[in-house]
Chains A and B, each alone.
Chain A
Amino acid sequence: MSVYSTILRQIINGLQSGSIYALVALGYSMVYGIITLLNFAHGDIIMVGAYIAWLSMARFATNPVFAIIAAILGCTLLGVFIEKAAYKPLRGAPRISILITAIGVSFLLENAAQMVFGASAQVIPSFFNISTIALGSIDISGTAVVTLIVTAVSMILLTLLVQKSKMGKAMRAVSEDMDAAQLMGINLNSTITFTFAIGSALAGIGSVLYCSAYPQATPTMGAMLGLKAFVAAVLGGIGSIPGAMIGGFAIGLAEALVSAAGLSVWKDGVVFAILIVVLLVKPTGFLGRPMQEKV
């Protein structure tokens, strides 16, 4: 196999994992944009989605389509529930208290999953059998193609939603200035809930795509995935939707290229090194709004 095709194959792998990171990063970024909360529980929502998919297919032997819908719906409902139960009572509390609550929720989800499903990995049956596609000299796995298409479609829909719909307008207004938005008659609570719902639904889609690439569910699978997606969100500029997409793909590609160079054990280190360099050169990420300091 030539060097050229190895690199091309790794780029496709990178785009595949990058799209999953991007979908998860969008959830981080949207929530941060609206209530400036680093939602550490977001990664664990993916884990719950994976377990729902596993439950419905391996245990109840349902149709894969139903499993996918159940996973996405389950994630959405869980995201909304977490917001209502844990974050809503803390509106107006110091930001660090909300952060610690988010960490608490993350612990809770991981440990609950460990108690219910056990610590060992559960193998998720494949959703669909998609044949590989030959492109010149290299074969592209069908899952990669599906992942890229699904991600592209979700992002287009999300952009339309945020830019064109009334709810999207409300979301943008709240992230611009929460108090002023409220004075303009925007229902703060429903807007925030809606943001959590959208973010969690994207995490659900990410979860399904992740499971089709790496068909395993473990209680801690969300931790590292969430952390990387979070890095992606920061890299692109937290609070910015196109930024999250760019950050996700950048992280995915960087990881794939490091692996291609035979240094896969340094993958995580490289991701964080890129983060540090970007933050030092451009502290708000690629597309973030500049921070303003008020006296």
Chain B
Amino acid sequence: MNQQTKKLSMPLRYVINTALFAMLLLAGTALVNSGAVSGYYTKVLMLIGINIILTVSLNISTGYLGQLPLGHAGFMAVGAYASAIFMTRVGLDANIAFPIGLLLGGVTAGIFGILIGIPALRLKGDYLAIITLGFGEIIRVVLLNIDSVLGFKLTYGAAGLKSIPKTTTFFNTFLCVGIVCFLIHTMMKSRHGRAILSIRENEIAADACGIHVTYYKVLGFAASAFFAGVAGSLYAGYLGILNPSSFGFMKSIEILVMVVLGGMGSMVGSVLSAVVLTAIPELLRAFSGYRMIVYSLLLIIVMIFKPSGLMGMYDFSMSHMIEKIINHKPGQKKRNAKAGEENG
């Protein structure tokens, strides 16, 4: 019966997904540029995009690697400052400086991820959470208290780094969202991704199977930090001003909440909960006093009634949907669904 079901070839899957994504992106950009979406909503949408990148990046180390880091905002801060300093100090054209700054932010955060990951990942469980919390707070305190590096006035300490070119737009935010999600998705489907997943499932068994646990843990952690740095760079170009206090412990918690609420290890869950949890406080602005209370109550209620998060570990696949539709014949629904699962 498996021969009867049609499967999409890999290149076709990529083409379909890319085309769909490009259509959505262009449609969104056209809407924003035409003014159909007001400036305020565009800002909210951009913030949603940045939060999506942050959430899927934390999902690498939380959902896929199975660790619990509490210092994700620190990596975001490192990326944001690296790219902001680059963009304000190097007199390149904004269109050229932006992608370089983005990469620079990611790479700097990734290096910090490796430097912090090597000692921190020796610890397990709650201790790992605490030590990353410590590193995140140290990054914040250092940024808060130094305003010059090697004699160059770079970070401006508590006063904040001002007048960063506002290069982040709807288009490049969501382009980054697409690229980041694609990269993480392909990474997780690769051999390295499966090694990372095996560490989550059972570290000792993975080690016994010859997987270099430390290497893959640091790899996952550094990838997580890299993408957080990219999000930080976008954030710098989005706000135009950076203040160390916006990268505190609460920011890390906010990102973690998004990951857990969406369902750890589910990219769709991460994306959805980043959208919902960014939009809710904005939509509830009318009830200004109550909005954070509603937000926190929602968090408690979801956790009590659905501890595995909204989406659990479910991941959505466009190609599987299409396969289901083209293979659909009355009475054959169950069998096809089963075949689809096996192929997944």
Contacts and interface: CB of A to CB of B under 8 A. Distances in A.
A278 to B, nearest CB: 10
A103 B257 CA distance: 8
Contacts of A283: 122-123, 127
Nearest to A86: B300
A279 B299 contact: no
B249 A108 contact: no
Interface in B101-148: 119, 122-124, 126-127, 129-131, 133-135, 137-138, 141-142, 144-145
B289 interface: yes
Nearest to A115: B289
Given A104-B296, A104-B299, A272-B137, A97 B126 contact: no
Interface residues of A, number: 44
Q: How large is the interface on B (under 10, 10 to 19, 20 to 34, 35 or more residues)?
A: 35 or more
A231 interface: yes
Chain B interface, >50% SS class? helix
B326 interface: no
A284 B128 CA distance: 11
A89 B141 contact: no
Contact of B134 (A94, A231, A295): A231
Interface stretch (B36-44, B214-222, B301-309): B301-309
A115 B291 CA distance: 10
Contact of B292 (A90, A111, A268): A111
Given A103-B253, A108-B293, A227-B137, 17 more contacts: A89-B304, A93-B303, A100-B303, A104-B297, A107-B295, A107-B296, A112-B293, A223-B249, A227-B133, A227-B249, A272-B137, A272-B138, A276-B119, A276-B131, A279-B131, A283-B123, A284-B127
Interface of B: 68, 119, 122-124, 126-127, 129-131, 133-135, 137-138, 141-142, 144-145, 204, 249-250, 253, 256-257, 260-261, 264, 289-290, 292-293, 295-297, 299-300, 303-304, 307-308
16 contacts: A36-B126, A38-B126, A100-B299, A101-B304, A103-B299, A104-B299, A104-B300, A105-B300, A115-B290, A115-B293, A230-B130, A234-B130, A269-B137, A269-B138, A272-B141, A273-B134
